[in-house]
Amino acid sequence: MNLGIQDRVAFVTGAAGGIGARTAAMLAEEGASVAIGDINSDAAEAEAERLRDTGCKAMAVQVDVASAASVDQALTTVVREIGVVDILVNNAGFTRDKRIGRMEESDWDAVVDVVLKGAFLCTKSVLPGMIEKNWGRIVNISSRAYLGNPGQANYSSAKAGLLGLTRSTALENGRYNITVNAVAPGIIDTAAVRNLPHYEKVKANAEASLPLPRLGRLEDVAAAIVFLASEQAGYITGDVLHVSGGRYG
């Protein structure tokens, strides 16, 4: 299947590693020009260089998605260097887990500002260009944690909030041929997950209890994101695609 995104311009946040990096690589392999946005500029540059070495079109741009000024500056650079953004993947995010009683205001703000406000700021910044082109794809990376998890009130709330942002943005912009969807991964075998002290238990639990009995892989999530970002997904909007091995609840 031709995904129809050759020469589209994609901006992927948090793309210096993990799911974002795999997604950026897959978009680039499909012929898109990709901007790797990350707060970690050295890692973003290394990733962009790696893609360019394989013949792909890629640039790095430093961005703190929680800052409107930083987002606007980064997107101005992207538009100047590779063109108006057609595909936005709001992927930057992290956890700062604590039970609510021990969760500080700063723990709440750090996670919600990057995951939820960051997605809002990037969306707001790219929408005028997409409306002008009458084409756009926005994919928000939520998490199965939107259903709630002990110790993750900040993360879970932000990931649930992303679904509201997804639906509202979809409703406002369908008339401009812009689709907005979310991907909700389960537990993915990333470096961060491998570093968990109880990684072996998490892995064994996935193998014992999931309908698809294994942890998710980076490419499982990236493939779902790239499909939703493609021409072929043009009649899907406001939806949530779970990439969780069949896990619900």
| Residue least distant from ligand NAD (Cβ) | 18
Cβ 81 to ligand NAD, closest distance in Å? 18
Nearer to ligand NAD, 135 or 227 (CB): 227
Cβ 64 to ligand NAD, closest distance in Å? 4
Do 70 and 47 form a contact (C-beta atoms < 8 A)? no
Cα separation, 189 vs 212, in Å, equals: 14
Does residue 248 carry a catalytic annotation? no
Rounded to a whole number of angstroms, the CA Rg of the chain reads: 17
Cα separation, 13 vs 10, in Å, equals: 10
Cβ 82 to ligand NAD, closest distance in Å? 18
Nearer to ligand NAD, 114 or 127 (CB): 114
SS3 105: helix
Nearer to ligand NAD, 104 or 132 (CB): 104
Of the candidates 155, 199, 235, 248, the residue annotated as catalytic is 155
Cβ 155 to ligand NAD, closest distance in Å? 7
Token pair, residue 116, equals 């939820």
Query: Which residues contact ligand NAD (rule: CB under 6 A)?
Result: 13-14, 16-20, 38-40, 63-66, 91-94, 114, 141, 143, 185, 187-188, 190, 192-193
Mention every residue, 6+ apart, whose C-beta is less than 8 A from residue 28. 34, 51, 56, 57, 58
Token pair, residue 128, equals 């005028």
Nearer to ligand NAD, 52 or 217 (CB): 217
Sign of CA dihedral 233, 186, 240, 125: negative
- Which residues are marked as active site? 155
